[in-house]
Amino acid sequence: MTADALDGTPTSPRQTEPALRPAQRLSAAIETGRQRIVISALVFSVTFGAIGLKLIDLMAFGGDADSAMATHALPAAAPAADRADLRDRNGLILATTLPSMSLYADPKMVIDPIEASLRLAKVLPDLDQAKLLADLSSERRFVWLKRGLTPTQQYEVNRLGIPGLAFQNEERRYYPAGNLASHVVGFTNIDAQGIAGLEKSLDDRLQGGESMALSLDLRLQEMVRDELQATVEQFHAQGGNALIMNVNTGEVLAMVSLPDFNPYEPGGPAEEAMFNRNTLGVYEPGSTFKIFNTAMALESGTSTLTSLYDESPVHVGRFTIHNFRGDPQSGMLSVYEIFRLSLNTGSVHMEEAAGVDRQKEFLTRFGLTKPAPIDLPEVGAPMVPHPWSKISGMTIAYGHGMAVSPLSLVTAVSAIVNGGILHPPTLFKRDPSQPVPGKRVISAELSRTMRMLMRAVVTGGTATKAEVPGYFVGGKTGTADKAARGGYNRRARVTDFVGVFPIYDPKYIVMTMLDDPQPIKGTYGFASAGWNSAPLGGRIIARMGPMLGVEPADPKDPAILQMLSPPANAVVANLSGGNED
């Protein structure tokens, strides 16, 4: 018991608190209300402050967007962040990946779609204002407005302060060389997926971060494109292409096809410009095929350099094969002269002596009956006769009736001149410490003979305009009527030239081709390879020799001249061709 209990006075908790007067109770209630109002105001201030800061971050800096946009806006598959570079053989960048910013919107957050679309269209004039309005008025929570903005464009959009817009950090593929190597490098789509060229064929390796060194030399690529473009314009051709290859390694040092395209062009390349004439195109090459016909005839032993054949027209059913105007139309000429002057009838007789079966086997051995083995998705299959008849064999002897890609042609001619080894073509820089893959297809002696014949074409045949003093160019021209429905268009042609230098010790081969060049002033009405493709090849050789450190030799060096001299009894006529080949 407590002390109070001892004196007999009961107690309770209520009785221990002093009683409050009415005025005091009113004052306490007012103070409690005031405190609650202050606390509520603070809560609302903090909440709206956080919302305001988030809006500022969203609109001014892009931020990460709000949770709804971050959750619903971004694509399921983001572009790979480690797509590797493509470089030329000297380390210059051909394709690389750089940070990029893209603009998107949550239409639900756009207050005034009409005003927003009008203001955006002024800042980004390549966008369609009507489509912008439709996108910003949609019921969706995410729409891409523009991918790959420049820093200036991002700044200008930021200045607009339009609610509902945001930026997404991405990566985009860039091509510093532009058009120069477009058909080889190719391009990717906006999500960094390979669409064409090496970007497509190497997609997995590049996505995995494996940087690739190509065999291309960007210096040569630019020079060749300049020369080819000027010649296409000079002869009013529909297009053209050119190749440079190392004959001893199969490395492609330059590959140009016109028209070409800019792989970073926002609107995308035109279908015609996308076409790679060097690998996807297949053409009847004309008389450049006489290289293989002559080598086949000499290898078989059915012909020698001194074998004589009648140059009179050859009649096959209702067709007649004859030589071009200005060339011998009758008489007996040697194999040496037939090749030097590029005579059709003599070539047909050589093929007849060897036989169709030998011809087919020989061309197959050089890979000319299959697509070129190159790491590009754009590769055309050759057009081979079925069946391979007697008439087919006769027309193939002078380059008609069978179509191959320029890359296949260059690869095969390289084996003819390099000592007889067929090396697979490659767009990748070879390791000089590793052996070069290849197989023997002809003897070294036959290769030497063919080099001598190709030199004669430049010194006194149809390719004299390809000569470059000191470089001892050897080559062969070809002019073929373009195939048309049911036959050939006699008014349209393809001209080509293959040139090798130095022919006494081959290092490089140059191939040029023009699509339907026209006669111009100074060509005397001719539009054949001797007047356009051959001079183009000579100009390319003259410029590339110093670039690659090839020293000119003495044009009168007796040892070299002896090496390239034909047998005395092979020259049975002092004739000059009409340059119509």
Phi and psi for 290 in degrees, rounded to 5?
Answer: -65, -15
294/397 Cα distance (integer angstroms): 9
Both tokens of 492, joined, read 């349209």
Longest dimension (CA), the chain: 161
56/60 Cα distance (integer angstroms): 6
Both tokens of 349, joined, read 């007789």
Q: In the β-sheet with 487-501, what is the strand arrangement from edge to edge?
A: 252-258, 239-246, 508-515, 487-501, 474-484
User: Where do the H-state alpha helices sit in 406-506?
Assistant: 406-417, 444-460
Burial 161-179 (b: 16+ CB within 10 A, else e): ebebbbbbebbbbebebeb
SS3 of 277-294: the string is CCCCCCECCHHHHHHHHH
> CA Rg, the chain, in Å?
38
Contacts for 301 with CB less than 8 Å, ≥ 6 apart: none
Q: Are 57 and 63 in contact (CB under 8 A)?
A: yes
| Other beta carbons within 10 Å of 83 | 25
Q: Are 97 and 172 in contact (CB under 8 A)?
A: yes
SS3 of 188-255: the string is ECCCCCEEEHHHHHCHHHHHCCCCEEECCCHHHHHHHHHHHHHHHHHCCCCEEEEEEEECCCCEEEEE
311/316 Cα distance (integer angstroms): 15
- 3-state DSSP helix/strand/coil % of the chain, to nearest 5: 40, 20, 40
Given 287, 303, 334, 405, which residue is catalytic?
287
577/560 Cα distance (integer angstroms): 25
Number of helices (H) and strands (E) in the chain: give both, helices first: 21, 18
Dump the DSSP string for 527-553: -SGGGTHHHHHHHHHHHHHHHTT-PPP
- DSSP element (H, E) containing 135: helix 129-136
Angle, alpha carbons 374-380-384 (nearest 5°) = 115
Q: Are 308 and 333 in contact (CB under 8 A)?
A: yes
Tell me, yes or no, if 287 is annotated catalytic.
yes
User: Which of 371, 428, 376 minimizes the C-alpha distance to 198?
Assistant: 376
485/488 Cα distance (integer angstroms): 7
Q: Catalytic site residues?
A: 287
